[in-house]
Amino acid sequence: MKTSEIKILLQKYYEGSTTTSEETDLEKYFLNSPADPEFDADRLHFEAVASMRDEDIPVPEDLEFSVLETLGKVQRLQSRGNRRIIYVSLSIAAGLLLMVSTFLFISRSNDSLFVTDPKIAYAESREALEMVSKYFNQGTAKLSGLGKLNQAIEPLNKLNSLDKAAKSLSEFGKLNQGK
């Protein structure tokens, strides 16, 4: 065989497009006749394939189970990766939606934030302050009962002064006994 024919057949062989007769031709060339030095690696490959063909390779009993288990692990890892991609994509979409809606809201309501007529501004301010006053008065009305609590505490303050007087008398009594 010519070197150019061998190169073409080798290219087809490594691409997986050779026929069985072309593969046997390659094997005969590399195993039976001296090959060109440029094909030394290919010769070693075909010699290894020929030597393995005669070997009896034992097949483990649990081969099917281990292959299926490995495939299951790969599928679980891929589904986790897909979930992460979905979560990241949804997070980015939500952020973009939030930014766009905020921009649109601000751009539409930007004109209504400023009042140029002083009379209208005064009326709006007065209305806002009256509303604050109304709610403030409603909130403080419920605190009116605290005055009654202060009245109830006043007699206790008198007890405090009685306690001070009792302590003074006890100290005076100790001084008298010490003489």
pLDDT at 69 over 80: yes
- Does some domain include residue 97? no
0.85 exceeded by pTM: no
What pLDDT, on a 0 to 100 scale, did the predictor assign at position 164? 76
Q: Is residue 128 a part of any domain in this protein?
A: no
DSSP labels, 78-103: HHHHHHHHHHHHHHHHHHHHHHHHHH
Q: Kindly report, residue by residue over 75-117, the tens digit of the pLDDT.
A: 887 777 777 777 788 888 888 888 888 888 777 765 566 677 8
Q: How many domains does the chain have?
A: 2
Q: Does some domain include residue 60? A: no
Taking CB atoms within 8 Å and a gap of at least 24, the contacts of 27-35 are 29/1
Res 112: pLDDT: 60
Give residue 39's domain range.
3-54
Is the residue at 99 inside a domain?
A: no
Structural domain contains residue 68? no
Tell me which of 39, 54, 69 is where a domain ends. 54
